[in-house]
Structures are given as structure tokens and as C-alpha cells.
Amino acid sequence: MPREMRITDAKRGAAFTVRVVTRAQRDELVGIQEDGSLKVRLTASPVEGQANVALVKFLAARLGVPESAVEIVAGHQHRDKVVSVEGISTAEAEARLQPDPGVSAEG
């Protein structure tokens, strides 16, 4: 049974929670966790904000928006983050944030 991602309407776009796993073999969208958070693996290290930069770039590319439209609004120092994206509806975000084929959220 597919899990439901929790994306909410933000002031001028969409907002959602992300669980980041760093030092992965590749950047990929893994899936939706039990709590509705999006799980993303990044090759970047969490040192000196490298993973935050990589997350913004990854989400901007995945969502088809400029990097300036993606903002980490909470959780800068943690693996669980709240992200706001301007200029995209919740329906568009949900459609573009489907997990990569063959990738398990459990891993």
C-alpha cells in the first residue's frame, strides 16, 4: 500500500518534510516514510552545510524550479528538515516527488 506524502500549501507554494541520508552512493529520492516525510539520499557530507546545499539543488532540479525557490526553513543542523518551495502547487510537487523506480524507502 503506497504511503501518503504530506505536502501542505505554503504562502506562495508548497511545504513538506524531508529526511536526509548523507554520504550515499548516489543522489536519489527514496520514497515516503511512515510519517509522510520524503526520504532523500545524497552523496554530500553533512559537514559545513554541504548536504543542505546538495538538497536544495536536488529538489530544485526534481521540481523544475530555480534553486532560489527552494528554502530549508527548519532543521538546518538535523537530518529531518522542513522545506518550502515557491511557485509550485502541492499537486505539482506531489507529482514530481514520486520515488525513483526500484528504490526502497526502507533502505
- For domain 7-96, is the CATH number 3.30.1200.10? yes
- The pTM of this model reads 0.84
Q: How do residues 8-39 score in pLDDT, each as one tens digit?
A: 555 578 899 999 999 999 999 998 898 889 99
CB within 8 A of 100, min separation 6: which ones?
28, 29, 30
Helix, strand, coil % (nearest 5) of the chain?
A: 25, 30, 45
What pLDDT sits at residue 90?
A: 87
Q: How do residues 42-99 score in pLDDT, each as one tens digit?
A: 999 999 999 999 999 999 999 999 999 999 999 999 999 999 999 998 889 988 998 7
Domain boundaries, the chain: 7-96
What pLDDT sits at residue 50?
A: 96
CB within 8 A of 17, min separation 6: which ones?
6, 35, 36, 37, 38, 80, 81, 82, 83
